[in-house]
Amino acid sequence: MTTTSELKTRQATAVAHGVATKGIYAARAENSELWDVDGKRYIDFAAGIAVLNTGHRHPKVMEAVRAQADAFTHTCFNVSPFEGYIALAERLNAMAPTGGENQSILVTTGAEAVENAVKIARAYTKRAGVVAFSGAFHGRTLLGMSLTGKVAPYKRNFGPFPAEIYHVPFPSALMGVSTDDAIAAIERLFASDVEPERIAAFIVEPIQGEGGFNVAPVDFLVRLRELATRHGILFIADEIQAGMGRTGKMFCIEHAGIQADIITLAKGLAGGFPLSAVVGRKEIMSAAHPGGLGGTYAGNPIAVAAAHAVLDVIAEEGLCERALAIGSRITDLLNGLANRQGMECIGDVRGLGAMVAFELLEDRARNTAAPALTNKIVEEAEKRGLILLTCGTRANVIRILTPLTISDETLSEGLSILEQSIEAAVSLAPAAAA
């Protein structure tokens, strides 16, 4: 049997150094649990970076995949279209909060969805510029990196980047950036760098993922929507990490009561199979000429079948409501810890639904990041059998992304390990908790 040690050695030789990984080599997984090649069990609080909202190998998803594999596995929709793709577009069109009749395209990755959303926005508006935000993450492709507002590790050494991309501050109470500050920065951009008539779209994550689970204030999203409408700029909501029920609603922007012009989806859409989507108002989506959109693997039949099953499971098992219950359990624990003497290192707890993170600080008063302590907590958790992920522009945020299908018992076990891991890491690094 292959061991973790052997795989680490083989990976170092065979896999490019730029692909960063954990040292947990998966052998099998079910729902919210994973076993590595050495037989060690882990509770999964990462869910493949919010991909497995329906858990590892949900029976309904696996059944749909098997049935599709028995029929056909690939045609290329551009060559031989099929009903599953059309039916999934119909379902997404009916759900997407745009305030109008919608159309969709299916592609493969989140970055591909973002790229196509920008292409469509430019085709519709006949403008080139795109405004994104500090701390944003929109993918590792060249345009995706350009839109991303986080240098390390995503942009370093990979430039130059495409032109006509502009960044402005994202609101963050912890970082001292208010909604007024962010909107004023956009107005300054329009006055000093580029006129609004050259901007095709704003692209914004309602909750930033890699940037640190920074939640966009409702008043900011409302005012950004108003600004977009005033200047004929399209509003692209990047729901790749926050969508598909993760925050307690199917689409995160529903919390703000606003409508997007274009929405990008991926991750949780297909239960672990590679699929993404761009959904938007029909008149916008129709702007691209025939042949301008698509791809060889875009809308793969097996991934499409999985996505149909995912939508069924979200509805049938009440996963939006479940996300709220899970999030409440997580935030209650973290807030309780943050208020405990000796735990001043937990400087902020934030999120919506089951998309929760906590920021670690060496000094709350000075807002000094504690990346070493952050990594130590993740390390302690892995020793105890819990998978966690970090994020944030200062590498000092731990995000929690459980499958929405996690049982109460496994959630309790995982939260207990999380508490133990924080306590252990703080005791080993007392200066970071001072």
Strand 368-369 versus strand 355-363 pairing type: antiparallel
CATH fold match for the domains 4-57+318-433 and 61-316: no
- Rounded to whole angstroms, how far apart are CA atoms 53 and 119? 29
What is the topology classification, in CATH, of domain 4-57+318-433? Aspartate Aminotransferase, domain 1 (3.90.1150)
Domain 61-316 fold is Aspartate Aminotransferase; domain 2 (3.40.640)
Are 6 and 23 a contacting pair, CB within 8 Å?
A: no
DSSP state of 161: -
Gap between the Cα atoms of 404 and 2, Å rounded:
31
34 membership: H or E segment, kind and range: strand 33-36
| Tokens at 288, concatenated | 């691209």
Give the pLDDT of the chain (434 residues) as one tens digit per residue: 799 999 999 999 999 999 999 999 999 999 999 999 999 999 999 999 999 999 999 999 999 999 999 999 999 999 999 999 999 999 999 999 999 999 999 999 999 999 999 999 999 999 999 999 999 999 999 999 999 998 888 998 988 999 999 999 999 998 999 999 999 999 999 999 999 999 999 999 999 999 999 999 999 999 999 999 999 999 999 999 999 999 999 999 999 999 999 999 999 999 999 999 999 999 999 999 999 999 999 999 999 999 999 999 999 999 999 999 999 999 999 999 999 989 999 999 999 999 999 999 998 889 999 999 999 999 999 999 999 999 999 999 999 999 999 999 999 999 999 999 999 999 987 554 44
For residues 173 and 170, give the distance between their C-alpha atoms in angstroms, rounded to a whole number: 10
Could you state, in order of their start, the residue ranges of all structural domains in the chain? Answer: 4-57+318-433, 61-316
- In whole angstroms, how far apart are CA 315 and each of 97, 250, 254, 319, 397? 17, 10, 17, 7, 31
Q: Which residues contact 421 (CB under 8 A, 6 or more apart)?
A: 377, 378, 380, 381, 383, 384, 386, 388
Q: If we measure between CA atoms, which residue out of 340, 342, 322 comes closest to residue 332?
A: 340
Record the pTM: 0.96
d(CA 54, CA 380): 27
